[in-house]
Amino acid sequence: MANDRDPHWACLKGCFEQHPERIARSTSRYRFAKGQLEELLRLLDGRCMVCLSCHAMIVDTATRTAERKQRGVLCLWCKDRVAGYEGSYGDGRPLASMCRCKTGDAVEWGERISAATAQYLNRTALLQIHRENADRMAALIADVSTRGADPHQVWGGAPVADLPQLPVREVAPEPAYREVEPLARPRCSNECREHPEHVYFACFQEPTELRDSDVDGIAVRHYVGWTRQHPPIQRVGQHGATCRESLVGIIPGTTADEESVKAKESCPKCGKPLEYRPRKMRPGKS
Ligand SMILES: [Zn+2]
Ligand SMILES: [Zn+2]
Ligand SMILES: [Zn+2]
Ligand SMILES: [Zn+2]
Ligand SMILES: [Zn+2]
């Protein structure tokens, strides 16, 4: 997919080749040994390790890890593709197929960009046994110099059927707790990270005003909230220390569960209705 015009036509904000000073900056930022990044870029002819057509613009690091574990070098479109595949923009999204180097007549583009992404993730996964980026980089350089930039010939005409496949992303199973009435569910710990969302409820000794609630400025005897924050106790604390101290329980649940708890359930602690909102603030009343 060579382009006869400006070789940097796709590079927008710039690539390593256009901005050699970025090589030095990345080298110190990721603690590569001197000359490693230059060597990798030389082996790749300055190209992105996925599409092999756009110029490499950034050092890619594994997402969802605290440290900056370097993988390879990518263009911005392929970086976005990899991040999307790994769930950075939510689960269940189709693999982004956009690339600056994609031309209108690209044959089997979708299959090949997907296979190239798989090839990239497979080969860089092998680097993760090394602890330091300089060691990862040395292993990557050795791999690219022996097997080449495109070992499976994704862009070299190998039949699509022979290309690496991206593993199907795991979609979180429908939680079993849905079958059970909210207050009959097992309570979660304050620190629970097992469930994606939680409903929590508090029972106060006397009418209490909460911060950051749906009844700001009104003193209430109970409070029921929903959160996606982890740990859930963090969200509870945002209403104030009293809410934390008066917490009765945290359960796994959705916003629909939150609403049904507010509207229908009684407080397991004092037995009074959990509905704390003034009548005019309840859904369906106006
Ligand atoms: Zn460029
Ligand atoms: Zn790319
Ligand atoms: Zn590209
Ligand atoms: Zn939980
Ligand atoms: Zn109560």
pLDDT tens digits, one per residue of 100-144: 898 877 889 999 999 999 999 999 999 989 999 999 999 999 999
The beta-strand segments (E) located in 17-159 are 58-61, 70-74
Which one-letter amino acid corresponds to residue 205? Q
Do 85 and 212 lie in one domain? The reply is: no
How many angstroms is it from 227 CA to the middle of ligand 4?
A: 11
User: Does 277 fall in a domain?
Assistant: yes
Note whether 120 and 50 are within 8 A (CB). yes
pLDDT exceeds cutoff 60 at 1:
no
Domain hosting 140: range is 20-162
pLDDT exceeds cutoff 90 at 146:
yes
Do 148 and 47 lie in one domain? The reply is: yes
Number of domains, the chain: 2
How many angstroms is it from 76 CA to the middle of ligand 3?
A: 8
Burial 87-115 (b: 16+ CB within 10 A, else e): eeeeeeeeebeebbbbeeeeeeeeebbbb
How many angstroms is it from 256 CA to the middle of ligand 5?
A: 21
How many angstroms is it from 255 CA to the middle of ligand 4?
A: 14
How many angstroms is it from 258 CA to the middle of ligand 1?
A: 52
Do 39 and 76 lie in one domain? The reply is: yes
Do 150 and 206 lie in one domain? The reply is: no
Do 148 and 186 lie in one domain? The reply is: no
In which band, very low, low, confident or very high, does the pLDDT at 174 lie, cut at 50, 70 and 90? low
Do 136 and 219 lie in one domain? The reply is: no
pTM exceeds cut of 0.85: no
pLDDT at 286: 47
pLDDT at 66: 57
Q: Does residue 111 sit in helix, strand or coil?
A: helix
